[in-house]
Amino acid sequence: MALYAFNRREDDNLAHAETELMFSIGKTYDLYHQLLLLILDIADLASEKIDFGLQKKMPSPEDLSPQRRFVDNAVIEQLRKNEELNKYLSVSKLTWVNYSHIPRLLYSKMISWNVYQEYMNSECHNYIADRKFVIKLITDLFMNSEDLNSCLEEQSIYWNDDIEYVTAMLEKTLKKFKADPGEKVALMPLFKNTDDEEFVRVLFRKAVLHTDKYSELIDKNTTNWEVERIALMDILVMRLALTEIIEFPEIPVKVTLNEYIEIAKYYCTSKSSTFVNGILDNIVKEIREKGLFNKFGRGLVGEQISE
């Protein structure tokens, strides 16, 4: 999307575009923490409902003996005390205060949700069951909430299509949670390491700087098509793929191709993945024969080695 935005700009300010790219990645990381905070806010609402019931002048039997399983969920308690989460929220000032209707709406949907009912009534009370429910809450209830998706789009233009990716990252994070570490349990870092961050910058920069070279390769290998008639997103996906193949010798070609075919399915038209796959296959054959890229180490995985 950053490459698309750069191509729509009237100027060629690469430094500004790169800054915008890194800012958008940071906003995605904000969303990662914002959704964790949403879990805590929903749990707070559940706790308030229990307290309200206990304070009634004529409480019902259910009010006097509330089911506290969700409120006392061990994973939610871990998140509430998590040092990394609390530090990030303190610095970023993320909050749902201006969108307090979202935790309330999701709480209402949750208590009538069959998954919640099964969780609350299950005889299996352990850490694994608590973790499984929190993951389902994110990947099912959050992911499929139109109210939440609309609210996220309203809060930030950078969150328009991030929730699917972020919920997958949250699921990956929570699956690594264990009961023992308590508040020390690690969250996912913004970048795996400095090489990871550098990869993002170099991929974007080289894709921009070598626009003409990659456009020429695409043009030569699109029989009966003119580059101007191919959807811009298709071209950008292929340009990024070619950048990765040529500029990053340690990444196997097969890995790159599979990754960008999936990206084409998400960002382009329904037929784009097949089209992009075919064009990239032809280009890879051509540039391999011309020796325009060399793979080494892990990059040799899936490569045909000539004797």
As to burial, measured by CB atoms within 10 angstroms (0-12 exposed, 13-18 middle, 19+ buried), residue 63 is middle
pLDDT band at residue 302 under the 50/70/90 scheme: low
| DSSP string across 107-139 | HHHHHT-HHHHHHHH-S--SHHHHHHHHHHIII
In a domain, 305, yes or no: no
In this structure, what token pair is assigned to residue 241?
């793929």
Regarding whether 169 and 49 lie in a shared domain, the answer is: yes
Regarding whether 126 and 72 lie in a shared domain, the answer is: yes
Residue 19 · residue 2 · CB < 8 Å: no
In a domain, 198, yes or no: yes
Q: Which of these three, 184, 211, 233, is where a domain ends?
A: 184
The pTM (predicted TM-score) of the whole model is 0.86
Residue 249 · residue 293 · CB < 8 Å: yes
Tell me the average pLDDT across 51-70: 76
CATH classification of the domain holding 288: 1.10.940.10
Q: Which of these three, 184, 211, 239, is where a domain ends?
A: 184
Does the pLDDT at position 217 exceed 70?
Answer: yes
In a domain, 189, yes or no: no
User: What is the largest distance, in Å, between two alpha-carbon atoms of the chain?
Assistant: 87
Residue count (the chain): 307
Categorise residue 224: left if φ over 0, alpha if ψ from -120 to 50, beta otherwise. left
Q: Which amino acid is located at 34 in the chain?
A: Q
Does the pLDDT at position 53 exceed 80?
Answer: no
Regarding whether 260 and 136 lie in a shared domain, the answer is: no
Q: Residue 243's CB: how many other CB atoms inside 10 A? A: 24
Does the pLDDT at position 145 exceed 90?
Answer: yes
Residue 33 · residue 92 · CB < 8 Å: yes
Regarding whether 223 and 174 lie in a shared domain, the answer is: no
- How far is the C-alpha of 182 from the C-alpha of 83, rounded, in Å? 9
In a domain, 306, yes or no: no
Regarding whether 199 and 165 lie in a shared domain, the answer is: no
177 Cβ neighbours under 8 A, 6+ residues apart? 75, 78, 131, 185
Q: What is the three-class DSSP state of 78? A: helix
Regarding whether 249 and 101 lie in a shared domain, the answer is: no
Tell me the average pLDDT across 77-101: 96
Estimate the crossing angle of helix 163-175 against helix 14-54, to 10 degrees: 60
Regarding whether 39 and 152 lie in a shared domain, the answer is: yes
Regarding whether 271 and 138 lie in a shared domain, the answer is: no
Which residue shows structure tokens 């099912």? 140
- How far is the C-alpha of 271 from the C-alpha of 264, rounded, in Å? 9
**For residue 295, what are the domain limits?**
194-300
- How far is the C-alpha of 242 from the C-alpha of 236, rounded, in Å? 10
Q: What is the pLDDT of residue 306?
A: 41
In a domain, 284, yes or no: yes
Nearest to 297 by CA among 252, 246, 242, 247: 252
Residue 84 · residue 37 · CB < 8 Å: no
Nearest to 222 by CA among 175, 299, 276, 294: 276
Q: Which of these three, 131, 163, 184, is where a domain ends?
A: 184
Residue 296 · residue 250 · CB < 8 Å: yes
Regarding whether 148 and 261 lie in a shared domain, the answer is: no
Q: What is the pLDDT of residue 294?
A: 78
Q: What is the pLDDT of residue 293?
A: 80
Residue 203 · residue 237 · CB < 8 Å: no
The more confidently predicted of residues 53 and 3 is 3
Regarding whether 274 and 160 lie in a shared domain, the answer is: no
The more confidently predicted of residues 58 and 236 is 236
Regarding whether 238 and 119 lie in a shared domain, the answer is: no
- How far is the C-alpha of 255 from the C-alpha of 302, rounded, in Å? 9
- Across the chain, mean pLDDT equals 89
Q: What is the pLDDT of residue 143?
A: 94
Q: What is the domain count for the chain? A: 2
In a domain, 166, yes or no: yes
In a domain, 213, yes or no: yes
Which residue shows structure tokens 């793929």? 241
Nearest to 14 by CA among 2, 25, 23: 2
In a domain, 307, yes or no: no
Regarding whether 160 and 64 lie in a shared domain, the answer is: yes
Does the pLDDT at position 129 exceed 90?
Answer: yes
Tell me the average pLDDT across 124-143: 96
